[in-house]
Amino acid sequence: MTVQAVFFDMGGTIETYGWTPELRIKATPGIRKLLSDAGIHFDLTDKQLYEIISAGLDAYHQKSLQTMEELPSQRVWMEYILADYPFDPEKFAGLAEELMLYIETRYYERAIRPEIPAVLEALQKMGLKIGLISNVNSRGQVPTNLKAYGIIHYFNPIVLSSEYGRRKPDPAIFHYAARLANVPTSECVYIGDRIVRDIDGAQHAGFGKSILIRHDFEHGENEEGATPDAVIEDMTELLDILRADRDRESVPTESGNIHALIFDAGDILYFRPERGAKFAAFLEELGLEISPNHTRQKKAIEYKAYRGEINHDEYREAIVRLYGITQPEQVARGKQTLIDDDGNVAFFEGVPETLRALKEQGYLLAVVTDTANSISAKLDWFERGGFGHVWDSIVSSMELGTRKPDPKIYQAALQQLGLSPDQAAFVGHKASELAGAHEVGMRTIAFNYDKDASADFYIENFADLLKIPVLN
């Protein structure tokens, strides 16, 4: 494989860490002072306050393991740590981040692995991009420690779950980091100290290599999962692995030959056999009907969502409230039915097998999707189909802020793949999107296509991709 970027985990990888109850109880007066300065007082001993904090953090930790969602620090404090001690949310507006940063820096003993600076310097001299992906609830702990270690200048990008909103092992956060680095996932290496969080996540995201570094810490989490490509004790061993890979690097791509296929998602890879059925049943239960006005208004809401002007949750809530639904319980039910409808996908015959065959033949594969759903959700659907790991790039209109046929969305995928337009083909169904890809300079392949669609090639079955002359 060709390696262009190396991504590191933070805790347990760049740095070792540990803690004891005594350490945390000793640090708890600092938390008490921060709370007290904000007018929040506790008639508790340091040990009692520590126990409340620990119980809340444990509860949040268990929930985040299930959902892979990283909540804002304010919600963690109000909904988990101090859930039994309700306070004015305004008091936590600026305080929660400071509290979480204090916990993540003072509730642990942290130390950089001594060999890290020399390894990072060597990676930089090898011309590799260096990035970091970390599960962390504060936004300040990672940059604070990287600065203290004198190594922050090596890392770009630095991707934190607290900013992205999703946690490892969700493959979406790995894809996001690779896109920021402008590198195909298959040309990325990830190093971490956890099987489930790091190795599983990187492999499901299609990273070219995942490496486990041992860290002596009893975290009590499940560690049954994927097998890492290598296990190392010291970070200097990484350099030998990368040098060996570099000696086996593939021949550079030739201009004009097709090296990548870029796919639309909906109605190309999958379809919804019961589109909107659950939400329609929900409305019928409430005695509500869909009118032409609702359809037009829904299109306007979708327009905003597809361009990232509103997020996934805001989009669904706006759709539900469009029908005059205001009771919180009914709004929540309506939003869930929309999620269920979106996730009720079926894959066209031959999609999993064809994608895996193309990947085995060495093609780079990408998705360019106009969507109000998260990349995390779509990757979950693809994983159910058995092809979640094949993607080198996933570009979402919501993340990019524009949709097809804007040239920018096609070009974003091409840039990450490191290819010129004449080295890629776009597979789509809408006439406008095929025309947009053609204008960019890509060859076009029409599947499940509109009657007025114009393309270089037309296929009736998805597996016919394997027979197209330019791919052989």
Tell me the mean pLDDT in the region 15-20: 95
Considering the domain architecture, whether residues 312 and 406 belong to the same structural domain is answered as no
Considering the domain architecture, whether residues 62 and 147 belong to the same structural domain is answered as no
Distance from C-alpha of 112 to C-alpha of 284, rounded to nearest angstrom: 59
| Residues of the domain holding 289 | 277-343
**The last residue of a domain, from among 107, 129, 149:** 107
35: Cα separation from own chain's centroid: 33
Query: 136-160: per-residue pLDDT in tens?
Result: 999 999 999 999 999 999 999 999 9
Residue 309 included in any domain: yes
Residue 167 included in any domain: yes
Pull the structure tokens for residue 53. 């904090």
Residue 410 included in any domain: yes
Considering the domain architecture, whether residues 11 and 84 belong to the same structural domain is answered as no
Query: How many domains is the chain partitioned into structurally?
Result: 4
Q: Residue 229 has what pLDDT? A: 97
Distance from C-alpha of 373 to C-alpha of 313, rounded to nearest angstrom: 9
Residue 253 reports pLDDT greater than 70: no
The residue written with tokens 């996932």 in the block is 185
Considering the domain architecture, whether residues 116 and 243 belong to the same structural domain is answered as yes
Residue 163 included in any domain: yes
**The last residue of a domain, from among 89, 107, 125:** 107
**The last residue of a domain, from among 59, 81, 107:** 107
88: Cα separation from own chain's centroid: 32
Residue 411 included in any domain: yes
Q: Residues 3, 209: contact at Cβ < 8 Å?
A: yes
Residue 255 included in any domain: no
Q: Which of 41, 45, 46 is nearest to 82 (CA)?
A: 41
Considering the domain architecture, whether residues 453 and 400 belong to the same structural domain is answered as yes
Query: 57-97: per-residue pLDDT in tens?
Result: 999 999 999 999 999 999 999 999 999 987 888 878 789 99
Query: 20-53: per-residue pLDDT in tens?
Result: 999 999 999 999 999 999 888 889 999 999 999 9
Q: Residue 471 has what pLDDT? A: 81
Residue 299 included in any domain: yes
Considering the domain architecture, whether residues 281 and 314 belong to the same structural domain is answered as yes
By the 10 Å C-beta count (0-12 exposed, 13-18 middle, 19+ buried), 416 is classed as: buried
Res. 224 pLDDT band, cuts 50 70 90: confident
Residue 220 reports pLDDT greater than 80: no
Considering the domain architecture, whether residues 189 and 320 belong to the same structural domain is answered as no
Considering the domain architecture, whether residues 29 and 92 belong to the same structural domain is answered as yes
Instruction: For residue 431, give the CATH number of its domain.
Output: 3.40.50.1000
Considering the domain architecture, whether residues 352 and 338 belong to the same structural domain is answered as no
pTM of the model: 0.94
Residue 247 reports pLDDT greater than 80: no
Considering the domain architecture, whether residues 91 and 115 belong to the same structural domain is answered as no
Residue 325 included in any domain: yes
6: Cα separation from own chain's centroid: 17
Considering the domain architecture, whether residues 79 and 174 belong to the same structural domain is answered as no
Considering the domain architecture, whether residues 292 and 217 belong to the same structural domain is answered as no
